[in-house]
Structure 1
């Protein structure tokens, strides 16, 4: 049963990435049909993230209270509705609402999916299980995106949205039919103990953690990486077709192969970081400096897309950015946990929530920059790329200079006075 649950979580992550990406793939025909400019399109892209970080925290808490199986089912229904609305939408406001709703529904995916996975897999198998779920994004990027391009080109963008809505509803039916909340035995007992621990957290103790460089600068790097991801989802397909003159088919190929290359590089970089950690036994030598250099290379690689003519070289730049951004998104949370080693889930959630805020800002700022360029769209796009690159390079430099997690902090236990105060409440 646990492998069935894992397979369903993997397939849900495929849908998770597909639903986010379709807005970029269908950008040109949607903007033309609905009469939207780049600033408005940036608002559409940003709306996905407006409450995503809040939904991430709330969804995780609800999965503890009501069970992740039930929360995942409700999420799939929200995804179905959010993707069906554009199929019938004829206005900017409806499209905006659909993307906002999708962000609320997809925001809690990772904490809820990992919560469900943890109920079925013992600690020694959870790394493998998490990696399998993560591969869903790779499949979505390298396999499903070209399929979406074909749907948009041959049948229109509304049919592409309808297909994702149907897929989410089919997943819901399979989930309710095939899955269970949790098994009995040691894994369930581990979850009970973990929940009991979390209930003892005193939130005032988090304040010094927020000032810890091991939390602050890796979170900033995740913010920069998420900025590039948000920009790529909303604007990159349109840049390739409208500015660089690629056909929709070539655009799909560049994104698919570049994305697949980035995913492979990300896994290789993560494995090399693990190797360095085993060899050096320090976070700074194996995680911080390697991922800091990676963020600098990611920024340079991403901006190089604007400077090359060959689609192959565009793939290379996109793959370099994707590989090192994937590295910081996987390694960054590990660095963050050193700021609060006895509460890894809590501090990772806060760091990732902070990072996801860039999803709100990036499409708005980028859309404004592009729109303000008037008829010089290529200049506007180049400036938006440059902002993304500067954020990556700056975050990498700051993390390399100030993050020294091997001298991390740990929360002290609450005093008896604090305990009695909380108990009285």
Structure 2
């Protein structure tokens, strides 16, 4: 069962350590994690030239990370549930920092591929462990704003990543770009281990009134019960939330991978103009992420309204993407692209709040499952888009298919009801089935 949310008029605690944890620790950890990815993308032309890799070999090196990252999402969530997010995220941060540092020393094609796979495996537990941390450290009526800080750390890398990496390369060399973020990640992993606890009440800096405030408003299911796999796989919600996130990252993948190429090749922008204009949709996304988080916690406190908002976000993202592609002027195009990616940000906030409520004490596992679907599409989607453009030579066809994915994502949300958690008493007491804990 779940506890009722704290009433809006309830007394606020004097302590605010939970916000320091979200904004002062999780946001920087997630930002550095995203920068570890941005370094490889930004240095790819230099690496390809220095080691004489073919375009195909370079594509395999770049995508090998995403396949490993996606496939290890569910194991990462299971580990966070079994051993706690404090331990898992600290070890994961050390792991991925070491392999980020080692990346320039891949030497041969296979060496780079292996390092990138190991890097993806190390980063996989980060998101499930982070979402699970926020579930334990925030009452439910504050979790959307906390999730917004987490998403900010991830998407901030898309705004400042390339310029920052290019500056480091110009000043110190391409190898030191990997070294810099590896050291930053290692330091943050140590700080995370030193500062964070799995439970607010266990932390010496958390006042008693803040701990009570958190506990009164968060999920309070019985963690001692083992949840059968059947409770997950037999639920339409389990499949719907994964499928909708695949649709979401198919759209988002266009902005992450193909937007610069689209602006230069299809719209004739210079590299200088493209660099600035391509960052504007990501800024719009950050604004919408924070706006949606505040709207959730302060106005839309019930899930039916949030589900409708998520479905509307998909429809707006799809419509704006196609309308922008049909626009003849560049300012109008960029405006619609900002609206499209901003709407994607609104959906993102709903996704992780839904995983926290729908999964209950197994939110880390459900988060891993959802991120598995999304990142499989993040790996395969841009390739699919590139093939479509290569065959037809027309970006509009590819963008129309992305818009159709948006329509499918909106339909999927009709089957998601986070107010009905997967961990039902009947499922939790089922016999003769493999449980989540047995699978670790």
Describe the shift of the 1:224–1:123 C-alpha distance in structure 2 as closer, same or farther (beyond 3 A).
Answer: closer
Describe the shift of the 1:398–1:142 C-alpha distance in structure 2 as closer, same or farther (beyond 3 A).
Answer: closer
Of 344, 348, 355 in structure 2, the residue corresponding to residue 325 of structure 1 is 344
Describe the shift of the 1:97–1:31 C-alpha distance in structure 2 as closer, same or farther (beyond 3 A).
Answer: same
Describe the shift of the 1:341–1:181 C-alpha distance in structure 2 as closer, same or farther (beyond 3 A).
Answer: closer
Of 312, 337, 362 in structure 2, the residue corresponding to residue 290 of structure 1 is 312
Shift of 1:147: 1.5
Shift of 1:260: 0.7
Q: Does 1:203 align with 2:222?
A: no
Matches for 1:76-115 after TM superposition, within 5 Å: 76-115=93-132
Distance 2:377 2:79 in 1: 24
- 2:21 equivalent in structure 1: 5
- 2:252 equivalent in structure 1: 229
Which sits farther off after the overlay, 331-340 or 153-162? 331-340
- 2:208 equivalent in structure 1: none
Q: Does 1:129 align with 2:146?
A: yes
**TM-score of the superposed pair, with normalisation by structure 1:** 0.76
- 1:361 equivalent in structure 2: 380
Q: Is the 8 A contact 1:273 1:290 kept in 2?
A: no
Residues 156-199 of structure 1: CA deviation (Å, up to 9, x unaligned): 43332222222212323433444445443657978999574373
Q: Is the 8 A contact 1:221 1:399 kept in 2?
A: yes
Shift of 1:11: 0.5
- 1:376 equivalent in structure 2: none
Shift of 1:74: 1.4
Residues 6-36 of structure 1: CA deviation (Å, up to 9, x unaligned): 3111110111222222333334333343444
Q: Is the 8 A contact 2:260 2:274 kept in 1?
A: yes
Query: Equivalent residue of 1:50, what SS?
Result: helix
Matches for 1:131-210 after TM superposition, within 5 Å: 131-153=148-170, 155-184=172-201, 196-197=222-223, 199-209=225-235
Describe the shift of the 1:353–1:198 C-alpha distance in structure 2 as closer, same or farther (beyond 3 A).
Answer: farther
Q: Which runs of 5+ in 2 are unaligned?
A: 1-16, 203-210
Of 15, 38, 41 in structure 1, the residue corresponding to residue 32 of structure 2 is 15
Higher helix proportion = 1
Query: Equivalent residue of 2:234, what SS?
Result: helix
Q: Is the 8 A contact 2:31 2:156 kept in 1?
A: yes
Distance 2:272 2:143 in 1: 38
Residues 106-133 of structure 1: CA deviation (Å, up to 9, x unaligned): 2222221233344444445433333222
- 2:398 equivalent in structure 1: 387
Instruction: Report the aligned-residue RMSD.
Output: 4.3
- 2:280 equivalent in structure 1: 257
Q: Is the 8 A contact 2:148 2:349 kept in 1?
A: no
Residues 237-276 of structure 1: CA deviation (Å, up to 9, x unaligned): 4665677776665443233333112322344466667898
Number of residue pairs the alignment of both structures matches: 409
Q: Which runs of 5+ in 1 are unaligned?
A: 374-378
Distance 1:241 1:94 in 2: 33
Of 52, 70, 76 in structure 2, the residue corresponding to residue 53 of structure 1 is 70
Distance 2:61 2:19 in 1: 37
Residues 330-354 of structure 1: CA deviation (Å, up to 9, x unaligned): 2245567898889766545433322
